[in-house]
Amino acid sequence: MAEDTVAQDDDAGMDDWAAAMAEQAEVDAASAAAPEAPSMQAADIFERFDTPQIAGNTSGNIDMILDIPVTLTVELGRTKIAIRSLLQLAQGSVVELDGLAGEPMDVLVNGCLIAQGEVVVVNDKFGIRLTDIITPAERIRRLHK
């Protein structure tokens, strides 16, 4: 009786296999009878990027990036210090920076200098008053240094 069950399972497996093969043959026949896909053609018109955009159009484009977070850093100055000296720092230690007292501080956005300013106190909190905005041309010039 166990041999009959195995024989029935083999017959069922062969029927599933035969059905799958028949289904694949139908798919192959249908794809062969289908018309060929249209050939690719070059686009006739491309948007030109070297022409200036209309001023009204730019406000719609800038809305897409207004919510992107950036890192704003105000830098008092910089210095290089050996690891030995760094490890010896303790509370009350003084680290000399290359910036001079009264000199404007650098304002960086994602590491790129965009302005300079001076320290102000607003509602018992430190802030910065921008005194000089770096022009886009100057920013590009500084990038190529």
CATH of the domain at 94: 2.30.330.10
Number of domains in the chain: 2
- The mean pLDDT of 93-108, rounded to a whole number, is 87
Do 139 and 89 sit in the same domain of this protein? yes
Residue 118, domain member (yes or no): yes
Residue 112, domain member (yes or no): yes
Note the pLDDT of residue 2: 45
Residue 45, domain member (yes or no): no
Q: Which carries the bigger pLDDT value, residue 142 or residue 114?
A: 114
Both ends of the chain: CA-CA distance in Å? 88
Task: Name which of 33-47, 54-68, 87-101 the model is least confident about.
Answer: 33-47
Work out the mean pLDDT of the chain and round it to a whole number: 78
User: 3 is in which domain, residue-wise?
Assistant: 1-29
Q: How confident is the model at residue 13 (pLDDT cuts 50, 70, 90)?
A: low
Q: Do the bridges between strand 112-122 and strand 105-109 make them parallel or antiparallel, or are there none, so unpaired? A: antiparallel
Note the pLDDT of residue 87: 94
Q: Which amino acid is at 76?
A: L
Note the pLDDT of residue 141: 84
